[in-house]
Structure 1
Amino acid sequence: MNVNYCLPKLLATWSIGLSLLVLGTGCQQTLEPPSDSSAQAQTPMSSTITVDGSSTVYPITNEIAQEYQLLDTQKPQIDVSVSGTGGGFRKFCAGETDISNASRPISKSEMETCKQAGIRYIELPIAYDALTVVVNPDNDWASDITLAELKKMWEPDAEGQVTTWSQVREGWPDEPMILYGPGEDSGTFDYFTEAIVGESGDSRKDYTASEDDTLTVRGVSRDLNGLGYFGYAYYEENLTQLKAIEIEGVAPSRENVVNSEYQPFSRPLFIYVNADALDAKPELESFVDYYLTHGRQFVKVAGYVALSDEIYNLAYEHFVDRRVGTVFEGEAQFGLTIEELLQKEAEF
């Protein structure tokens, strides 16, 4: 396997009770044969399986790909790369990849781009994550923060204006606030800004941005006045270098994801699979089959929250039945019940 992006191995174990939200029988369309050859022309046809997208999902897919390769020396080459969720979807909708890792649902513009290109996709939730806000471990003033304070920090109007900790909360020091976070191609960036500011992509620009979450870890761990955000597994991997802060009095943890208390930062993680490539490349179908039937154990190894067996079974049904589309309407969904999400019709 050729891995084009290096991250430290992430180790942690927790489980999930929220994962029913994106799957349910009857919520997606049944795939029909293409009416012309345009979709097939867009399908990668080599013996290599190509994967790109989210840095958050990368450790899961990479772990599974490595283990899959060990099963048989005749297995196809699997290239797993990272360009962020947005960058991954650009390649996916251009027919350049077979699988797109995503830390947010496909957006409306990406749905339209894929549709125009004849790329049909199967949306498969594979884990749950708790987006985590971190500070330097020697920071002795910030142990919790409210959503309103996060908005005050990160909204576009804060750029060049909200620059010290004391401006965010009375009693915090009059020290410069040094912010770190994902770049604009990141699904974590999209999810965070939509949850905090109310519009995906709306954020101040005067912070240290990177698609590589390890650079955020490094920056915050070295800067007493630093603050950043990323997926929970990166915090778990760096417990001695970082301090996670509570959101509205609730800490990111296995228990708080399971009991639905950690809101709005509990989020599903996905892979999107090129539906026509599944038919054209038997090796891709075999790999996705392995991913869904063995994925739970690797999700835990990578440090994320595994879905229940029932949900993995439903995801597998969607894969086998070639049900294409998304139940998320092109944006993250906040505050909806399981029942409401299950009633949604797929869009494509």
Structure 2
Amino acid sequence: MADDSIRGISRRKFIAASGTAGALALAGCTQQNTGGGGGGDDNGSGNGSGGGSLSGEVIITGSSTVFPVSNEFAELFMDEHPDVNVTVDSTGSGGGFENNFCPGDSDINGASRPITDEEVENCESNDVTPVEFQVASDALTVAVNNEADWVDSMTFDELSQIWRDDGAQMWSDVRDDWPDEELELFGPASTSGTYDWFNENVIGEDYQHTAEHEPTEEDNLIVQGIQDSQYAMGYFGYAYYSENEDSVKAVEIREEEGDDPVAPSLDAASEGTYPLARPLFIYASEAAAEREEVAAFLEFYIENSGNDTVAEIGYVPAGDDVIEENMETLEEISG
């Protein structure tokens, strides 16, 4: 989804292109009139800054994982404030920081992992101060072809063997009873926060992510690659799996041998039992947040990050404590 042509696309067009998202229910997550920290309506919209008097532009770049949430909220916000143009461009977390946000060319950057010290320094060298807001949680999903009946679960070590540089080349290199067939790997590009998170938390600090895979910022191309080959494997955010769960098979994950394998789900991510659960973020420029239209959009985003819209997209909504903390931070930077 890094193609410039998707800049500002509506969620309706996004879903038409990538498959209809199923409505996902979380235990205790019911439709509500507030987005956790503020007022809204039954479409998940908050009261923002009120009425249609706002005007201007809000530019969002960054994570393909966070993209569906930002794009949905952009559309809902523009329904309430038609004179504000909110554009959303999926560039990858790192790509967005380096090429758009830190140079001062975007107001908000989505990220599927925390900003790095190097990125903070890059931003500050351009007089951009990034401010972090956690907006959801994800059950990062490892998937294989539906016909890969030899594999149902894997450990972190086995995943590392497959995905690290100079790692396994054949399925049988990992387990003797797996096919003597070459692994075909599809995954995020190195500009992706999902790539960075997987490299740090699964592959391990002693290894580097393999370059012998088909890299893309278009998560649905990863799904397509897995679907087209019996010996393929890939990984991506849970929202993309939830849209394609009939097309590919999710692998249950065990952190270590002897652990019970856990399938990716919003419940498991919310409960903390799924080993590949991770937080999702947006980062706002402190200077941009002083603009009325950006502050109003951030307020809208934060208020609604705890409601059913996020769960329907395929992520765990933010909790009340996270929303409260985010609102306090926003008040501090926006005045």
The TM tier, using the shorter chain, reads 0.7 to 0.9
How do 1:230-245 residues align onto structure 2 when only pairs under 5 Å count? 230-245=236-251
Contact 2:305 2:318 in 1 (8 A): no
User: Which whole-Å CA distance do the structure 2 matches of 1:209 and 1:111 have between them?
Assistant: 25
8 Å contact 2:9–2:71 — kept in the other structure? Answer: no
Report the alpha carbon displacement of residue 4 of structure 1 after superposing the two structures with TM: 5.4
Contact in 2 for aligned 1:156/1:203 (Cα 8 Å): yes
Q: Say yes or no: does 1:108 pair with 2:117.
A: yes
The 5 A counterparts of 1:1-150 are 3=8, 6=14, 8=18, 10-15=21-26, 47-74=56-83, 76-90=84-98, 91-150=100-159
Root-mean-square deviation (CA, aligned residues, Å) is 2.1
Ranges in structure 2 where 5+ consecutive residues have no aligned partner: 1-5, 29-54, 255-260
How far apart in 1 are the matches of 2:7 and 2:190? 26
Q: Letter of the aligned partner of 2:137 in structure 1?
A: Y
Instruction: Please show how residues 1-348 of structure 1 align to structure 2 within 5 Å.
Output: 3=8, 6=14, 8=18, 10-15=21-26, 47-74=56-83, 76-90=84-98, 91-158=100-167, 162-199=168-205, 202-248=208-254, 249-263=261-275, 265-279=276-290, 281-297=291-307, 298-322=309-333
Greater relative contact order, per chain length (Cα 8 Å cut-off, separation 6+): 1
User: Does the CA contact (< 8 Å) of 2:186 and 2:214 recur in 1?
Assistant: yes
Q: In structure 1, what is the Cα distance between the partners aligned to 2:183 and 2:8?
A: 36
In 1, Cα distance between equivalents of 2:21 and 2:109: 20
**Superposition deviation, residue 245 in structure 1:** 0.7
Letter in 2 for 1:93: C
Post-superposition shift, 1:15?
4.6
The TM-score with structure 2 as length reference comes to 0.82
CA distance in structure 2 between the partners assigned to 1:200 and 1:211 by the alignment: 25
- In the alignment, the residues of structure 1 paired with residue 333 and residue 271 of structure 2 have an alpha-carbon distance, to the nearest angstrom, of 32
The residue type equivalent to 2:262 in the other structure is V
Q: Residue 254 of structure 1: CA displacement?
A: 2.4
Q: Cα deviation per residue 1:55-97 (whole Å; 9 max; x = unaligned)?
A: 00000000000011111322x1111001100011111110000
Q: 1:194 to 1:144 in 2, by over 3 A?
A: same
In structure 2, do the counterparts of structure 1 residues 12 and 188 end up closer, same or farther at CA, with 3 Å as the change threshold?
A: farther
**C-alpha contact (below 8 Å) 1:16/1:306 kept by paired residues:** no
1:310 Cα offset (Å)? 2.4
Q: Please report how far the alpha carbon of residue 171 of structure 1 lies from its aligned counterpart in structure 2 after TM superposition.
A: 0.5
Tell me the SS of whatever aligns to 1:129. strand
8 Å Cα contact 1:133-1:228 kept in structure 2 = yes
Contact 1:134/1:245 (<8 A) preserved: yes
Counterpart residue type for residue 178 of structure 2 = W
Aligned residues: 289
Which secondary structure state, in structure 2, belongs to the residue aligned with residue 180 of structure 1? Answer: strand
SS of structure 1 residue aligned to 2:217: coil
Query: Which residue identity lines up with residue 69 of structure 2 in the other structure?
Result: I
In structure 2, C-alpha distance between the alignment counterparts of 1:208 and 1:220, rounded to whole Å = 11
* Structure 2 residue identity aligned to 1:252: P
Q: How far off is 1:200 after superposition? A: 9.8
Q: Which secondary structure state, in structure 1, belongs to the residue aligned with residue 166 of structure 2?
A: helix
- Name the residue aligned to 1:334: none
Deviation sequence 1:253-292 (CA, Å, 0-9, x none): 22321332212x110000000111121x211111111111
Contact 1:50/1:98 (<8 A) preserved: yes
Structure 1: how far apart are the matches of 2:295 and 2:101? 17
Partners of 1:92 and 1:4 in 2: CA distance: 19
Q: 1:163, 1:176 within 8 Å by CA — same for their partners in 2?
A: yes
Deviation per CA, 1:105-141: give whole Å up to 9, x if none: 0011101111221111210000000111000111110
Cα distance in 1 for partners of 2:206, 2:105 equals 25
Segments of 4+ moved more than 4 angstroms: 4-7, 14-17
CA distance in 2, matches of 1:171, 1:311: 45
Change (3 A) 1:2 1:182: closer
User: 1:77 aligns to what SS in structure 2?
Assistant: strand
* Cα distance in 1 between the residues matched to 2:306 and 2:273: 23
